[in-house]
Amino acid sequence: MDQEMNSPFRYAGGKFYARKLILEHVPYHSCYVEPFAGGSSIFFAKVKAERNWLNDIDDELINCLMVIRDYPEKLIDRLKSEKATKERHSYYKNIFKPETELDYAVRWFYLNRTSYSGIMNRQNCYFGYGDKYSMRPENWPRNILRTSVKLQNVKLTALDFEEVIENVEDGAFLFVDPPYFNADQDKFYTHFFKKEDHFRLCDVLKRNNNRIKFLLTYDNSPEIRKLYKWVHSLHEKEWNYTLNRTDDQKNGTDRKGTRYKGRELFIVNYDSVKQGSLPLPLFAHKTLKDV
């Protein structure tokens, strides 16, 4: 069973709103790899390949995916009586002490689904649930089960990106979505890039350029353009998204419903026009409650 679906997680910097634009550039492939999985919006949105590898340096995120893949009923059982409240969010964030892999998955899943924008950095992990726009706890079991189906036979690892890229099979297609070059990553993620990591990523992609295909997404900056001037082509892309305020954070603003522009570079080492892209899933019936 191959489902085209939304990511099971909320994830800061995820590609939910850019999925259609990205999928238009994805070539046919039999092996699919994400060295920076995060919310894995593209993996879940597209048709599943014969072989799939999702990696992220965040071991708690990968652990949660592993539990969803291998023990979905156990995770559902632990979450079945949960309510999305500030009190429970505070409990999992500050009091609950996980001891097992299942415990860690319960905490990660609960905090991710109830935190503002899915931000998991403890310093900025605030309650951000709202019934109107968030997935309700009674719908979590269905979300977990369909995610488990999609994750069957998917390789899951928590490795450094360089190890992944060096070891992918020849002819693999990689969707590479690193942290932005110019961004305050430390506010959102538990693991983040240093400047030398951006250069290291460029080097490992260049070393493997002739044996893999990759679509790399980055902020549209002069530094990145210069760094990747050797690549086949760079596409400027922008898309609309709406910030829906679902919490009562103390930032003194109310930006609910405000429309924003997402702007990035899509960097590809193949002719993404002549390649022919994958069939696009239909998202017209999706709502923000699925996000």
Count the neighbouring beta carbons within 10 Å of the beta carbon of residue 28.
11
Handedness of CA 21, 178, 43, 190 (dihedral sign): negative
248: CB partners within 8 A, 6+ apart? none
Tell me what pLDDT residue 17 has: 75
Tell me what pLDDT residue 15 has: 75
Q: Which amino acid type is present at position 213?
A: K
Task: List the pLDDT tens digit at each of the 291 positions of the chain.
Answer: 466 898 999 887 667 678 888 999 999 999 999 999 999 999 999 999 999 999 999 999 999 999 999 999 999 999 999 999 999 999 999 999 999 999 999 999 999 999 987 788 777 888 988 888 789 999 999 999 999 999 999 999 999 999 999 999 999 999 999 998 876 545 555 567 889 999 999 999 999 999 999 999 999 999 999 999 999 999 988 765 544 444 433 444 444 445 455 678 999 999 986 454 454 444 433 444 444
As a whole number of angstroms, the distance between CA 150 and CA 132 comes to 27
Helix axes 140-151, 72-79, angle to 10 degrees: 170
Tell me what pLDDT residue 291 has: 45
Kindly report the pTM of this predicted structure: 0.85
Tell me what pLDDT residue 147 has: 97
As a whole number of angstroms, the distance between CA 193 and CA 162 comes to 13
19-290: which CATH number, 3.10.105.10, 3.40.50.970, 3.40.50.150, 3.40.50.1260? Answer: 3.40.50.150
Do the beta carbons of residue 130 and residue 246 sit within 8 Å?
Answer: yes
For residue 49 the two structure tokens come to: 């390949």
Give domain limits for the chain.
19-290
